[in-house]
Amino acid sequence: MTFQDQIQQGIPSVLPQPKPYDTTINHAPKRKEILSEDEKKLALRNALRYFEPKHHAELIPEFKEELEKYGRIYMYRLRPEYRMYARPISEYPGKSEQAKAIMLMIQNNLDYAVAQHPHELITYGGNGAVFSNWAQYLLTMKYLSEMTEEQTLVMYSGHPMGLFPSHKEAPRVVVTNGMMIPNYSKPDDWEKFNALGVTQYGQMTAGSYMYIGPQGIVHGTTITVLNGFRKIMKNPSGGLFVTSGLGGMSGAQPKAGTIAGCVTVCAEVNPKITKIRHEQGWIHEIVEDITLLVARVRKALDNKEIVSIAYLGNIVDVWERFDQEGLHIDLGSDQTSLHNPWAGGYYPIGFTFEESNEMMANNPEKFKSEVQKTLRRHADAINKHTAKGTYFFDYGNAFLLEASRAGADVMAANHIDFKYPSYVQDIMGPMCFDYGFGPFRWVCASGKPEDLAKTDKIACDVLEEMMKNSPEEIQQQMADNIQWIKGAQENKLVVGSQARILYADAEGRTKIAEAFNQAIARGEIGYVVLGRDHHDVSGTDSPYRETSNIYDGSRFTADMAIHNVIGDSFRGATWVSIHNGGGVGWGEVINGGFGMVLDGSKEASKRLESMLFWDVNNGISRRSWARNEGAIFAIKRAMESQPLLKVTLPNLVDDALLNN
């Protein structure tokens, strides 16, 4: 069968032979035992409903074994034989070019070079899933290959509910992930209902088909590191950045440190993923001995090298040993998957990687206790460094949240706030999000590197022209992104699809998108897929990250994210998504995303102008109402540019009156 034939057949009527478990790739850890005997039978019934009854007797023992062995039913035997990667859009079967673009994006999320656990359909973050099982993947791709532009595919947490009649201007796909009743959003609820096969954790861009490999997080981390050094008024050259986690975010931190121009040390406990990131070029060196690490870092600092070093071991060893050795850390953070602390997102000190995985599956209470002990040690070591001048920030991975729950010394004197800021509070919120700058991204659907190079130039030309007349308040943001896009090819950031990201405001996104659409109309480039990370101005309500610099008491509300995705859906998005969970954890955040296909048409121009303006300014208006100074400036500017926009502005109160 051809690739197109395999896509169109969906779940095969004749079952493929079982596949051997491939030990050469990175697999998800075994999930903990959480289902009762009756619930295990329910999980089997739920999985078997994808298959004709004639197959049930054959599949029951196999699915039962998967559930016992891995804690989930992945349906490994249905994994396709063809290579998984983002093909040129012309290679996908179908009646809708928009649907073909979505197939391209789904396959990119599952590309072995992109996905963290590709056989478990997990893109990043330890549990950020595109689908829960391979039957869902096959059925979804079949539906997309059949879809017309008068239909919409409805996705329930990885499950394709089906094609429904709609119309040409409606989204082609509507995605939800993990949208639980609020009282059922605790970590064990995810474990239980995911094991039952009825919900999943879509992370952010994993379950919304918009991950572009590590480049997305590299850009945001680069901006953060650059601004972190500006905050401490130090040149990155000769500076030291210490952090941890090479898994779910693909080595973004060391790559970002290299682009910023400092020495980066990133600890990782998983030997396989460390080796992969080294082979991919995201880290320069691997060191396994802590004494050798100290010597190597001293040499790098003395010589003002721009180098990234992976320490194969626990991050706590690094913080404690650097303190003992008097090695000054300029910037410190953490990017382990602490939104997923009990299922492989963070590992305890004093145990090998293999011992930890065994404990996680077979003695989860002990594993949790050891993780919490490690978090307390981790925080104590950080506190020693910050007392000596280190600037530490939480990278929005729930490090401080889980450390506080473990009883670590991370709380401020008021016992309400953390003693260390989220990077959004101190850096990205006031410097970028309040002004409307966030992670705008695009994918060249042709798959041609030359198309990506052309779009880079188009974007750079637009930004340089805009910067000539930009107000002083956003000149730095414009300059950083022009510098980024000029160095994008040189830094070899493409993994998987021919994609790019930069930070732009509503004006920049609209002008760049329109310039792309015109280039498509002229035949200079192929179709372009627009999107963004949910980690943005408007798409995410996350009190410990994206909305952590909202101080009017509303940071625990989720109105903005819900309005964002509703508004995107009727303003022209090709697909929309809304998720419970994300980088900070299940039950801790609601985030929305979109995708938009540009085809060079006048209709695409209308859609991009309407949707991109809303997608950003919805968030700026909320931030303005929270009395954020930069957002008040930005929304006033937006109202000047668009007479139909009329936003309620806050009246500011004199603090002296309240303090009388």
* 125 annotated ligand binder: yes
Q: Is 580 left (phi over 0), alpha (psi -120 to 50) or beta?
A: beta
**Residue 557 neighbours by CB distance under 10 Å:** 15
Beta bridge partners of 332: 242, 392
In the structure encoding, which two tokens stand for residue 440, read together?
A: 């705008």
* 33 annotated ligand binder: no
CA-to-CA distance for 606 and 6, rounded, in angstroms?
Answer: 36
CA-to-CA distance for 477 and 423, rounded, in angstroms?
Answer: 16
In the structure encoding, which two tokens stand for residue 327, read together?
A: 């090695």
CA-to-CA distance for 213 and 452, rounded, in angstroms?
Answer: 15
Which DSSP letter does residue 328 get? P
Angle between the 56-70 and 37-48 helix axes, to the nearest 10 degrees?
130
* 136 annotated ligand binder: no
Beta bridge partners of 435: none
Distance of CA 143 to the CA centre of its chain: 26
H or E element at residue 528:
strand 528-532
Phi then psi for residue 129, to 5 deg, are: -100, 145
* 546 annotated ligand binder: no
In the structure encoding, which two tokens stand for residue 485, read together?
A: 């896009």
CA-to-CA distance for 278 and 287, rounded, in angstroms?
Answer: 11
* 268 annotated ligand binder: yes
C-beta pairs of 286-295 under 8 Å, 24+ apart in sequence? 286/310, 286/312, 287/311, 287/312, 288/312, 288/313, 290/317, 290/318, 290/321, 293/265, 293/318, 293/321, 294/321, 294/322, 294/325, 294/327
Give the list of residues 6+ apart from residue 385 with CB closer than 8 angstroms, or none. Answer: 319, 322, 323, 329, 332, 392
| Alpha-carbon distances of 529 from 106, 148, 223, 513, 599, rounded to whole Å | 12, 18, 24, 10, 9
Residues tagged in the binding site annotation: 125-126, 203, 268, 395, 583
Give the residue ranges of the annotated binding site for NAD(+). Answer: 125-126, 203, 268, 395, 583
